[in-house]
Amino acid sequence: MSVEVRPVRSRADRRDFVELPFRLHATGTPWIPPLRIERRLFLSPRFNSFFNHGEAELFLARRDGRVVGSISAQIDLNFNAFHDNAWGMFGFLELEEDVEALRALLDVAADWLGARGRDRMVGPMNFTMNDESGVLIDGFDREPMVRQPWHPPYYGRLCEEAGLAKAMDLLMWNLRVADRDEILPIIRKLAEELEPKHGITIRKMTRRRLRRELDAFAEIYNEAWSQNWGFVPYTKEDLDAYAWELHLVFERGWFMVAENSDGETVGIGITIPDINQVLKRMGGRVLPLGWWHYLRRRRIRDRTRIGFLGVKPAYQHTGVAAGLYMENFAMAGATGIERGEAGWVLETNKGLNRGMEALGGQISKRYRMYERAL
């Protein structure tokens, strides 16, 4: 039977879209199920701030009535305006081992984007690079951490068979954050000199000020990462939504701010104790007992994800990053966290990748972004 691809229109279609990865990955894989209610809200234009500056269409592929794949096609107007390009994106790529289904999904997404004036299709990303991005091509035996996708090995192979070209690899670095002996001495030296030599101190964020701290986060992110491939700036609406998400995982010691002697924020580090370890026990549902695991989350997780560490360009020579990293190692020792992952980091970011090596890190996962000319 041939593959038929249609847009998601009904409540049943949306349920099938959300449930597909549960059917594909829930048994015998390292995949960790998200909360179903969170996925439904994330896909809704009413609740996701992406739709304030973008539009998207969701599609399902069926073979003889059976759902065999899913994809989204989306346009981020903020991304296009910032980069002065006409790229379109695709995401939410899930499929059985069926290259014909993948080709059909990609063709439909490409047609949707082409009809809206896009000249290139890049992805996968759900819906932006600040969300789950890339196809896993190395590290299949490792559980994904918060905001990381997981895919079986055939996803990458099918993407190449379907004619997608590599655009960029995203690296995750494994760190033994409980083991300071692996850190190069220069990192310690830079951290120790941060205050006496440069007048820069590190303090911890508070939950009460979290939303205001994110304004400084966005300033640093938009300044320090603006030259990165795939960069998209945060808007006020994005930060409002991000603040709500961070409140659910906020732990004061892991959210850090570096300030100069005038009180100006010059660097920020946000490390998130891995909520995926809790979601694994919740099984995709809050009821009947999922809430109990969430309340006990500090007893469950023993790993973290360093999701963001940024320093204003004018202060990148001072060792702010080293100070923030050493503070992460100190927190690990105080809280019993044994390991973590940092990233993603672009494969082309030689400076940051060298920094990960200096901290004793090793590449643990590799995600690939693909592209197709339209």
Give me the phi and psi of 20, to 5 degrees please: -55, -50
Q: Per-residue b/e over 26-55, b at no fewer than 16 CB within 10 Å?
A: eeeeebbbbbbebbeebbeeeebbbbebbe
pLDDT digits (tens, 9 = 90+) for 346-363: 999 888 898 888 878 899
Quote the CA–CA distance of 14 and 8 in Å, as a whole number: 6
185 and 144 in a common domain: no
232 and 148 in a common domain: no
pLDDT of residue 119: 97
Domain at 98, CATH number: 3.40.630.30
Mean pLDDT for the chain overall: 88
317 and 221 in a common domain: yes
362 and 323 in a common domain: yes
Give, in order, the Cα–Cα distances in Å from 198 to each of 157, 229, 255, 266, 342.
Answer: 50, 31, 22, 12, 26
pLDDT digits (tens, 9 = 90+) for 123-170: 999 999 988 999 999 999 999 988 899 999 999 999 999 999 999 999
155 and 274 in a common domain: no
Closest-CA residue to 17 (of 29, 7, 25)? 7
pTM above threshold 0.85: yes
pLDDT digits (tens, 9 = 90+) for 240-253: 888 888 887 888 88
Quote the CA–CA distance of 201 and 194 in Å, as a whole number: 7
Band (186; pLDDT cuts 50, 70, 90) = confident
pLDDT of residue 177: 65
349 and 203 in a common domain: yes
pLDDT digits (tens, 9 = 90+) for 78-97: 999 999 999 999 999 999 99
Tokens coding 278: 């809790």
99 and 41 in a common domain: yes
Split into its structural domains, the chain has a count of 2
246 and 128 in a common domain: no
129 and 198 in a common domain: no
Q: Containing domain of residue 235, as a range?
A: 174-373
Confidence check: pLDDT of 291 > 70? no
Can you tell me the mean pLDDT for 178-191? Answer: 75
Confidence check: pLDDT of 283 > 90? no
